[in-house]
Amino acid sequence: MINKKLIEIIEGYGAPFDMPINGLECVSLYHDMGIYGDDVDYLFDEYINTFDVTVPTFCFCDYFPDERTVDLEEFRFFIANIFRFIFTGKKAKRNDGELYKRLTIGDLQIGIDTGILEL
């Protein structure tokens, strides 16, 4: 069962959940909720301090883009989409979800249960 305080913390950085708590284990912070950059830093500070979880080998850049990366990716996608539409009449599909590993709410809950977030 997902800790209710964990849900409150995550909702502070993303949209509120409209599903039961027991269905949130597979929800990804970046891919599904769009949490990245500075918000991830603040979320993790609150997560670590609230639940006394250690995060010894976690590399944020494997799971989340930073603010500047997202802005540049959005610009590139926008320009590519314009040219693709002009020349083919089709819209480009986003594929950025494959660039970053998924960190789920279930992963964070395991960190709370064990006291360590190892991925």
pLDDT at 79: 66
What average pLDDT does this structure show over 22-38? 86
For residue 104, which phi and psi values (nearest 5 degrees)? Answer: -100, 165
- pLDDT confidence band for 7 (50 / 70 / 90): very high
Q: What is the pTM of this model?
A: 0.75
Confidence tier at 50 by pLDDT (50, 70, 90): very high
Q: What is the mean pLDDT of residues 67-78?
A: 61
Number of H helices and E strands in the chain, helices first, is 5, 0
Determine contact, residues 3/9, Cβ cutoff 8 Å.
Answer: no
